[in-house]
């Protein structure tokens, strides 16, 4: 087994029927793992969601077709090169990588699903990937999660993983996942890249329904910088190796199973925000009292995306006027200003259309200096509530992205 570097990872329980292997292909640098192969046991069910960015990467186009038309047997992930903005050549390169792995594994090329992340607009180094594939295959093991969590990183400062074991009808069911992402994060389906596996037996329609529901509560509730990547993808695999009877929407076990998948994905999604490029603060933006979900999310994302709010967070400056302005420009029709309340944790900063009468700068400062805090907006219009997770905007975010290709 390839040894993963020391990292703050929780225990990642192996998933029977799902093996991972990691290797160094030297795509961007010669001394780091950057190629991961994941093997799905025969009979596994695979569901996926992908970016809605119109300039989706070549591997996304190929992956969509392979997941739709075949029963995937292998997932192939490379970092250091996104193979995006590469036109027809990029598609050919992605297909070539699938063919190379298929030849080694003894399966059809259509049974290999490719994923890439890294620099946009540069040709995929197929030869380097080809050369590293045998090492990744040799490394395949059910306990390869930690090494793979490192192998899929780009600008991340730490690997991200989460795992749960639950009991259903006397059977232990495992759900384990890894993700990568730190910048270009405002997913419109999932995260930069996320891979979750379970040994539960789940029919294809129920697994896809579960994944679509879960990403709506996790990966689609995070933002670092408001950018949606060309390469975003999230995969959920059910190997069916647990002896539990098949899980299906509407049965007694589905809720327990989907709750476990949700917990894993929320933990992964929040880990991405905590590792946001240059981030120093983890912020929950909670909007309550909206007329519907869309209204709540509109306000939440307007606050979370505001550069003025995010830079104030970095400074630990309780400049509450920036939050007030963001709520006001969110585009909510007929917003009753007298009904709106805004809080920093439990400190009310806005009430009755202006600064709360009992607010003090010292109280606001104390909250803003915390590494984790909540901006809570009460609209006073209805019964809906939603929340998103974001971070501050620091000097390091600019430095990391200014130097990304150097």
Cα(77)–Cα(231) distance, integer angstroms: 11
pLDDT of residue 189 exceeding 70, the answer is no
pLDDT band at 225 (very low <50, low <70, confident <90, very high): confident
pLDDT of residue 221 exceeding 50, the answer is yes
Has 228 been annotated as catalytic?
Answer: no
Longest dimension (CA), the chain: 71
- Selected from 3.40.50.10800, 3.60.70.12, 3.40.50.300, 3.90.79.10, the CATH number assigned to the domain covering 18-274 reads 3.60.70.12
Residue with tokens 């598609």, as numbered in its chain: 91
Q: What mean pLDDT is reported for the chain?
A: 92
Fold of the domain built from segment(s) 282-402: Ubiquitin-like (UB roll) (3.10.20)
pLDDT band at 402 (very low <50, low <70, confident <90, very high): confident
Q: What percent of the chain has pLDDT over 70?
A: 95
Instruction: Return the SS3 of 127.
Output: helix
User: 367-389 pLDDT, tens per residue?
Assistant: 999 999 999 999 999 999 999 99
pLDDT of residue 356 exceeding 50, the answer is yes
Instruction: Return the SS3 of 1.
Output: coil
Q: What percent of the chain has pLDDT over 90?
A: 82
Cα(81)–Cα(94) distance, integer angstroms: 12
pLDDT band at 213 (very low <50, low <70, confident <90, very high): very high
User: 270-313 pLDDT, tens per residue?
Assistant: 999 898 777 899 999 999 999 999 999 999 999 999 999 999 99
pLDDT of residue 1 exceeding 50, the answer is no
The crossing angle, in degrees rounded to 10, of helices 87-105 and 58-69 is 50
pLDDT band at 5 (very low <50, low <70, confident <90, very high): very low
Give the residue-averaged pLDDT of 163-180.
96
pLDDT band at 154 (very low <50, low <70, confident <90, very high): confident
CA dihedral 401, 189, 19, 270 (to 10 degrees): 60
| Catalytic option among 51, 117, 154, 191 | 191
Cα(297)–Cα(385) distance, integer angstroms: 8
Tell me the pTM: 0.91
Structure confidence at residue 376 (pLDDT): 98
Cα(386)–Cα(388) distance, integer angstroms: 7
Give the residue-averaged pLDDT of 314-342.
94
pLDDT band at 188 (very low <50, low <70, confident <90, very high): low
Q: How far is CA 153 from CA 161, 245, 373, 374, in A?
A: 12, 36, 27, 28
Structure confidence at residue 183 (pLDDT): 66
The crossing angle, in degrees rounded to 10, of helices 320-328 and 293-305 is 140
| Helices and strands in the chain: count of H runs, count of E runs | 11, 15
pLDDT of residue 2 exceeding 60, the answer is no
Q: Which two tokens stand for residue 400?
A: 């990391």
pLDDT band at 48 (very low <50, low <70, confident <90, very high): very high
pLDDT of residue 53 exceeding 90, the answer is no
Per-domain boundaries in the chain: 18-274, 282-402
Poorest-confidence range of 199-208, 229-238, 371-380? 229-238
**Contact of 279 with 285, CB cutoff 8 Å:** no
DSSP at 338: G
Size of the chain, expressed as the number of residues it contains: 406
Residue with tokens 């695979």, as numbered in its chain: 46
In DSSP notation, 143-186 reads T-HHHHHHHT-SS-SS-EEEEEEEEETTEEEEEEEEEE-SSSB-
Q: How far is CA 224 from CA 57, 213, 304, 318, in A?
A: 21, 22, 8, 20
**Contact of 51 with 25, CB cutoff 8 Å:** no
Give the residue-averaged pLDDT of 332-338.
93
* Residue 93, Ramachandran bin (φ over 0: left; ψ between -120 and 50: alpha; else beta): alpha
**Contact of 80 with 180, CB cutoff 8 Å:** no
DSSP at 192: S
User: 108-143 pLDDT, tens per residue?
Assistant: 999 999 999 988 899 999 999 999 999 999 999 999
Pairing of strands 74-81, 45-50: unpaired
User: 255-272 pLDDT, tens per residue?
Assistant: 999 999 999 999 999 999
Cα(60)–Cα(68) distance, integer angstroms: 12
- State whether the Cα torsion 85-86-88-94 is positive or negative: negative
């Amino acid at each position: 087994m390839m040894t993963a570097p020391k990292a703050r990872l929780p225990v990642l329980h192996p998933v029977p029927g799902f093996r991972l292997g990691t290797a160094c292909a030297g795509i961007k640098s010669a001394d780091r793992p950057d190629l991961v192969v994941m093997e799905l046991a025969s009979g596994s069910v695979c569901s996926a969601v992908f970016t809605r960015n119109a300039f989706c990467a070549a591997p996304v186009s190929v992956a969509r077709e392979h997941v739709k038309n075949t029963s995937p047997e292998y997932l192939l992930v490379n970092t250091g090169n996104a193979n995006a903005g590469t036109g027809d050549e990029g598609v050919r390169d992605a297909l070539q990588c699938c063919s190379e792995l298929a030849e080694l594994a003894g399966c059809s090329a259509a049974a290999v699903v490719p994923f890439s992340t890294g620099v946009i607009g540069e040709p995929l180094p197929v030869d380097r990937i080809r050369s590293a594939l045998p090492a990744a295959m040799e490394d395949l093991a059910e306990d390869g999660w930690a090494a793979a969590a490192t192998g899929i990183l780009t600008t991340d400062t730490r690997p991200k993983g989460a795992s749960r074991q639950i009991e259903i009808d006397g059977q232990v069911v495992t759900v384990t996942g890894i993700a990568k992402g730190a910048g270009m994060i405002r997913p419109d389906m999932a995260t930069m890249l996320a891979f979750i596996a379970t040994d539960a037996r789940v029919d294809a329609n129920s697994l896809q329904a579960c994944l679509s529901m879960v990403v709506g509560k996790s990966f689609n509730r995070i933002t670092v910088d408001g950018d949606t990547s060309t390469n975003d993808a999230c995969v959920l695999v059910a190997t069916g190796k647990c002896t539990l009877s098949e899980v299906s929407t509407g049965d007694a076990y589905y809720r327990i199973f989907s709750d476990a998948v949700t917990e894993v994905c929320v933990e992964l999604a929040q880990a991405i925000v905590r590792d946001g490029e240059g981030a120093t603060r983890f912020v929950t933006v909670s909007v309550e009292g909206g007329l519907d979900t869309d209204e709540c999310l509109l306000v939440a994302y307007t606050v979370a995306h505001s550069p003025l709010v995010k830079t104030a967070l970095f400074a630990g400056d309780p400049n509450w006027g920036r939050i007030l302005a963001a709520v006001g420009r969110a585009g909510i029709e007929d917003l009753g200003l007298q009904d709106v309340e805004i809080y920093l944790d439990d400190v009310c900063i806005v009430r009755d259309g202006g600064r709360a009468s009992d607010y003090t700068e010292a109280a606001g400062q104390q909250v803003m200096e915390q590494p984790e805090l909540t901006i809570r907006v009460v609209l006073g219009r209805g019964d809906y509530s939603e929340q998103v997770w974001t971070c501050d905007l620091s000097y390091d975010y600019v430095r990391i992205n200014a130097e990304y290709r150097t």
